[in-house]
């Protein structure tokens, strides 16, 4: 056999040949991933510097791409973050695995320092030009602009065309990628879906964006409080492997083993060390200097630790959006009818701290039923460390959790083992310093049983809260149906009976009076049930567990400052004042029209159509109630 | 229940309802509960009979639609009974739609599809404890094609006339039993040894084509799957009027055992009120029996549990052994054992597998069947 020459290659070389592993598997994904990486970096930087982020994003087509069936796309992301020192530019954008966040155990969006370098590589490979960066830190008198490229052979960033320029921002970063790609606006992998998702889980962000030829759009922040990013806690010994354990010891040099264990790990106390000794660790080792320990000693200590039961890792390192901020943010999804938000307490899943937050909202103009009256499935929005996950949903822990909840119990239609049907949006946010992604492109979260169960619980809590409102709607529809039944069927039943028995008109009259009296009692009972259901919902609303968006007059809906920003299409109203979106013109249909609409509705048995009918019935019920009462009287 | 009394019973019922309404009292409609938990099996009677459980429908805002629809359809059915007109369920569905079309005030009663009107017709029958044929509502019955060289059928026609059919004169053309076999009179021209009901219509035709009726003094009938009312009533008629032994020959699987054979022999839970006229308790299960597989080296194969139909049949077999009074009765122990065997072995064997015994002898299945009858190898 001929002798083969063994060569080594750089990390950059590996990734440049395997960009599909980090989210560049198709032209559509390439655009989204590039944008995502740039936005993630901006948001992380702002959070670190405790700055309320203001992002300006533009994505436009500037020509034909070099690859088949692609366009040349320019992606520009500008932030008001702390800026990047010029010396760091080449590392941040041009070097793989150069990160300020790697292994810090914080809930930041980026972790390894791969994404943005991969985006630079993609730009370099497809348009022969890296990323153009403008940066300015508060200390710099002028901004610096440079082109950063990746030296693929050596995994180093290369700075080109460096020049100073005046920039109207006191600090911040602007990145511009020109890449081959395809722009998808809507749908699961769409850019607009990404924007709405990012705004939803980042209530403190001001997002201004322009995609293709659409006008500039703004999503305003709904909270002025930047999230407190908790500091990382020490690692838990049960989450480590032997090699990591030994490597960790090198940080503690001459300290004693006891000091190393207590200071270097979470959940190890003097009592725990006593337990280690009971479980086979040599007591003398506790006072031995760490650098004197040999491999056998490390193995002994490690084995004793594994045998000992320790408290679960701390959940202090996990942050949440919070129910209040999340509630405000949910309204930015569109015209929301009502919603429930649940923030679970941080907990431990698979030895990793994790916090789950869930929002379930019903949209007024959500997915319309298909022609055969079947409602389409609800939208499931997935977020990991406040980043939207838009691909490969079927294997994700969050999708599995949604599918395994029995939504029928909460009044939603649901085919077996599927997401519920109807105009609902189910947003799930998972925050953890150690999210177990299934791949490097961070598109899917591994579906471990513990994690799925934790998400399920959050969803079930949200479902329970929603069900009160849905039940109230059912009662309203029920009352409406009962009133209609009396009006429609009583005369028919009496007529038929009289014809069959050849009864005289006097009997007919008496029977009609009798049946209306009888069924009137049922209506009264239904009204009582409805009153109770309304009271229940109000109680729940008062406790903040469910929020119902009430209709307000059109004048109240005009967003503040809309004149100044007349050219920009406002996606939402100023949510700081928590105002609801304006109802559509002509929303108030006449009673007759509504009645006709109701007749056209699909049969009640069809669960999906029922949902639609319920909403309509709710509208009709109020108007008709008085008339029916008079008739009954 | 006599047909003549149905209009009177219906009118009495309507009068009672009207009186209740005049007194502002909630009228109640009662119907026999037609389900397995209200079924009883007495081997002396031979078929499933209803228990005391009743379904009560009290008038309220929720049931007023159902009640109105029931009375509305009852009026149409009574009109048919009075005039002697007959209709199928589908025709009645369109007739109801026609009434609604011509009288807009009836629009709330409109049926969206036939299943809605069908269930109301069934409810009326359960309420009046009659079968729909008594209300001149006939099913588009299938199956029951019968061949015999000895049988003569006399039908009493609606106008009182009589029609006589000699099955021996029909050649290979089958006689199709009517929806109301009660109006037929059977007579044997000469001795008839047995009646064979074959599950598959096609196999029954093959037997006739191969000369079965020429060689045997028998009645041969194809059931065509789950027996329709016509097949069930026809089998009952043969049993009662000709007093000949009846054998059923079908697949060895849970579906055939429960849905086909049990229905033929003892009726079904859904038709509790008419099982007395639509079951033939003397019919025997000739095969395919589990022991036949070994004895004749028949070709069998495993039950596809991935097939929803077959998996459902197995699950139903478990339920049958637990809850079905027919299979729970010790006199039907042999049949219950077949179900146990099917559940244990999870294999099935089709009636056509008899053709594997000697593929060059077209009469082989017939020979096996006759041999089994002679040796009393049936359950």
Average pLDDT over residues A84-98: 81
Q: How far apart are CA B35 and CA B39, in angstroms?
A: 6
Interface of A with B (CB under 8 A): 481-482, 485-486, 488-494, 496-501, 503, 507, 510-515, 517-519, 522-523, 526, 603
Last residue of a domain, one of A419, A439, A468: A468
Which residue positions in chain B have pLDDT lower than 50?
1-4
User: Which tokens is B102 given?
Assistant: 């011509």
Q: Residue A158 CB: number of other CB atoms within 10 A?
A: 16
Shared-domain flag, residues B226 and B90: no
Shared-domain flag, residues A378 and A408: yes
Q: Answer yes or no: is pLDDT of A553 > 50.
A: no
State whether ipTM is beyond 0.85: no
- The reply to whether B28 touches chain A by the CB within 8 Å rule is no
Last residue of a domain, one of B100, B116, B138: B138
| Alpha helices for A25-83 (secondary structure H) | 27-48
Residue A511 and residue B72: Cβ atoms within 8 Å? no
How far out from the chain centre does Cα A150 lie?
32
Calculate the alpha carbon distances from B206 to A129, A398, A590 in Å: 80, 59, 69
Q: Strand A424-431 vs strand A172-181: parallel, antiparallel, or unpaired? A: unpaired
Shared-domain flag, residues A41 and A132: yes
Q: What are phi and psi of A154, to 5 degrees?
A: -110, 5
- Give the three-class secondary structure for B327: helix
A372 confidence band (pLDDT: 50, 70, 90): low
Shared-domain flag, residues A338 and A451: yes
Which range is least confidently modeled, A78-87, A365-374, A431-440, A595-604? A595-604
| Residue that has been written with the tokens 């959070």 in this structure | A47
Q: What are phi and psi of B364, to 5 degrees?
A: -55, -50
pLDDT given for residue B78 in this prediction: 92
Q: Has residue B129 been placed in a domain?
A: yes
Shared-domain flag, residues B361 and B213: yes
Burial of A565 (0-12, 13-18, 19+ CB in 10 A): middle
Q: How many domains does chain A have?
A: 3
Q: Has residue A374 been placed in a domain?
A: yes
Shared-domain flag, residues A171 and A41: yes
Instruction: Name the percent of chain A lying above pLDDT 70.
Output: 78
Last residue of a domain, one of A468, A488, A516: A468
Task: Give the domain CATH number at B285.
Answer: 3.40.1360.10
Q: Answer yes or no: are the C-beta atoms of B320 and B343 closer than 8 Å.
A: no
Domain that holds residue A262: 237-307
pLDDT given for residue B39 in this prediction: 92
pLDDT given for residue A547 in this prediction: 64
Cis before A294 (ω within 30): no
How far A622 CA lies from chain B's nearest CA (Å)?
19
- The reply to whether B124 touches chain A by the CB within 8 Å rule is no
Within 8 A by CB and 6+ apart from B339, the residues are: B254, B257, B258, B317, B320, B321, B327
Domain that holds residue B365: 193-374
Question: The pTM is what?
Answer: 0.55
Q: Has residue B33 been placed in a domain?
A: yes
Quick: pLDDT tens for A141-182: 889 999 988 887 887 888 888 888 888 888 999 999 998 888
Q: Choose among A489, A498, A514: nearest Cβ to B64.
A: A489
Task: Give the domain CATH number at A374.
Answer: 3.30.230.10
Q: Has residue A118 been placed in a domain?
A: yes
Task: Give the domain CATH number at A118.
Answer: 3.30.565.10
Residue A492 and residue B10: Cβ atoms within 8 Å? no
Within 8 A of B75 by CB-CB distance, chain A residues are 496, 499-500
Mutate to test the interface with A, among B17, B64, B70, B109 (most CBs of A within 10 A): B64
Quick: pLDDT tens for B264-319: 999 998 888 888 888 999 999 998 999 999 999 999 988 887 777 778 878 888 88
What's the whole-number average pLDDT of chain A?
76
Shared-domain flag, residues A359 and A419: yes
Q: Answer yes or no: are the C-beta atoms of B48 and B266 closer than 8 Å.
A: yes
How far A611 CA lies from chain B's nearest CA (Å)?
19
> What ranges make up the beta strands (E) of A364-443?
379-384, 387-389, 424-431
């Amino acid at each position: 056999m001929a002798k083969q020459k063994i060569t080594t290659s750089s990390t950059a070389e590996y990734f440049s040949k395997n960009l599909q592993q980090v989210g560049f598997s198709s032209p559509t994904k390439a655009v989204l991933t590039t944008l995502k990486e740039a936005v993630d970096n901006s948001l992380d930087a702002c959070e670190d510097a405790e700055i309320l982020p203001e992002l300006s994003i533009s994505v436009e087509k500037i020509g034909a791409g070099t690859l088949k069936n692609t366009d040349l796309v320019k992606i520009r992301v500008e932030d008001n973050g702390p800026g990047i020192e010029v010396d760091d530019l080449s590392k941040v954008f041009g070097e793989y695995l150069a990160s300020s966040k790697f292994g810090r155990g914080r809930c930041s969006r980026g972790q390894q320092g791969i994404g943005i370098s991969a985006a630079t590589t993609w730009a370099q490979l497809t348009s022969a030009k890296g990323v153009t960066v403008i940066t300015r830190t508060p200390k710099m008198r002028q901004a610096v602009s440079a082109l950063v490229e990746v030296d693929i052979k050596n995994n180093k960033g290369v700075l080109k065309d460096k020049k100073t320029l005046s920039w109207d921002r006191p600090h911040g970063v602007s990145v511009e990628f020109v890449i081959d790609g395809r722009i998808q606006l809507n749908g699961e992998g769409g850019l607009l879906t990404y924007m709405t998702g990012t705004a939803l889980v980042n209530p403190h962000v001001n997002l201004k964006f322009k995609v293709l030829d659409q006008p500039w759009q703004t999503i305003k922040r709904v909270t002025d409080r930047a999230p407190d990013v908790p500091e990382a806690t020490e690692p838990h010994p049960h989450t480590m492997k032997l090699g990591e354990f030994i490597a960790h010891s090198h940080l503690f040099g001459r300290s004693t083993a006891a000091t190393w264990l207590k200071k270097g790990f979470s959940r190890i106390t003097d009592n725990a060390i006593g337990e280690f000794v009971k479980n086979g660790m040599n007591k003398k080792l506790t006072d031995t200097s760490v650098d004197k320990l040999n491999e056998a000693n490390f193995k002994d200590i490690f084995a004793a630790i594994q045998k000992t039961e320790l408290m679960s890792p701390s959940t202090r390192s996990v942050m949440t959006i919070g129910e209040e901020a999340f509630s405000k943010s949910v309204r930015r999804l569109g015209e929301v009818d009502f919603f429930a938000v649940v923030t679970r307490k941080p907990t431990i899943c698979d030895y990793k701290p994790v916090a789950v937050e869930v929002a379930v909202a019903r949209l007024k103009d959500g997915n319309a039923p298909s022609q055969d009256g079947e409602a389409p499935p609800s939208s499931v929005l997935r977020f990991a460390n406040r980043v939207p996950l838009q691909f490969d949903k079927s294997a994700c822990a969050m999708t599995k959790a949604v599918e395994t909840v029995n939504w029928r119990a909460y009044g939603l239609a649901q085919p077996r083992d599927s997401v519920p049907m109807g105009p609902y949006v189910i947003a799930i946010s998972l925050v953890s310093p150690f999210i177990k992604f299934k791949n490097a492109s961070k598109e899917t979260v591994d579906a471990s049983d513990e994690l799925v169960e934790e998400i399920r619980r959050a969803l079930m809590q949200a479902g329970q809260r929603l069900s009160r409102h849905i039940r109230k709607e059912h009662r309203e529809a029920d009352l409406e149906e009962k009133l209609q039944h009396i009006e429609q069927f009583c005369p028919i039943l009496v007529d038929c009976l009289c014809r069959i028995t050849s009864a005289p008109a006097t009997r007919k009259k008496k029977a009609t009076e009798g049946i209306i009296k009888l069924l009137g009692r049922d209506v009264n009972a239904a009204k009582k049930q409805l009153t109770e259901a309304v009271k229940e919902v109000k109680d729940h609303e008062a406790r903040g567990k469910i929020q119902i968006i009430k209709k307000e007059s059109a004048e109240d809906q005009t967003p503040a400052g809309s004149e100044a920003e007349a050219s920009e299409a406002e996606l939402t109203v100023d949510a700081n004042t928590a105002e609801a979106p304006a109802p559509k013109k002509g929303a108030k249909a006449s009673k007759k029209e509504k009645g006709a609409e109701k007749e056209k509705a699909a049969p009640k048995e069809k669960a999906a159509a029922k949902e639609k009918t319920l909403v309509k019935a709710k509208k009709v019920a109020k108007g008709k109630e008085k008339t029916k009462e008079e008739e009954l009287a | 229940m006599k047909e003549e009394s149905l209009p009177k019973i219906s009118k009495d019922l309507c009068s009672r309802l009207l009186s209740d309404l005049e007194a502002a009292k909630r009228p109640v409609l009662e119907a026999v509960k037609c389900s397995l938990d209200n079924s009883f099996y007495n081997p002396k009677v031979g078929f499933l009979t209803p228990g005391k459980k009743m379904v009560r429908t009290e008038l309220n805002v929720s049931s007023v639609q159902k009640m109105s629809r029931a009375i509305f359809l009852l009026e149409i059915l009574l009109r048919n009974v009075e005039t002697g007109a007959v209709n199928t369920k589908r025709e009645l569905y369109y007739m109801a739609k026609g009434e609604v079309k011509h009288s807009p005030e009836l629009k709330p009663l409109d049926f969206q599809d036939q299943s809605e009107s069908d269930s109301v017709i069934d409810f009326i029958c359960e309420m009046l404890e009659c079968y729909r044929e008594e209300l001149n509502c006939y099913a588009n019955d299938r199956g029951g094609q019968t061949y015999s060289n000895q049988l003569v059928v006399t039908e009493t026609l609606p106008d009182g006339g009589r029609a006589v059919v000699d099955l021996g004169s029909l050649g290979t053309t089958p006689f199709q039993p009517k929806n109301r076999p009660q109006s037929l009179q059977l007579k044997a021209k000469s001795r008839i040894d047995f009646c064979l009901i074959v599950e598959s219509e096609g196999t029954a035709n093959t037997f006739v084509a191969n000369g079965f009726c020429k060689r045997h003094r028998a009645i041969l009938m194809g059931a065509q799957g789950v027996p329709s009312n016509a097949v069930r009533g026809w089998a009952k008629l043969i049993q009662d009027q000709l007093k000949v032994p009846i054998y059923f020959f079908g697949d060895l699987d849970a579906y055939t055992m429960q849905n086909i054979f049990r229905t033929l022999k003892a009726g079904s839970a859904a038709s509790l009120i008419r099982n007395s006229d639509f079951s033939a308790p003397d019919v025997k299960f000739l095969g395919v029996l589990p022991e036949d597989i070994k004895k004749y080296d028949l070709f069998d194969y495993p039950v596809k549990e991935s097939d929803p139909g077959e998996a459902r049949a197995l699950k139903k077999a478990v339920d049958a052994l637990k809850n079905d009074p027919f299979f729970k009765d010790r006199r039907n122990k042999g049949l219950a054992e077949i179900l146990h065997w099917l559940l244990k072995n999870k294999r099935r064997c089709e009636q056509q597998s008899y053709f594997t015994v000697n593929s060059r002898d077209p009469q082989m299945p017939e020979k096996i069947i006759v041999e089994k009858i002679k040796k009393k190898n049936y359950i």
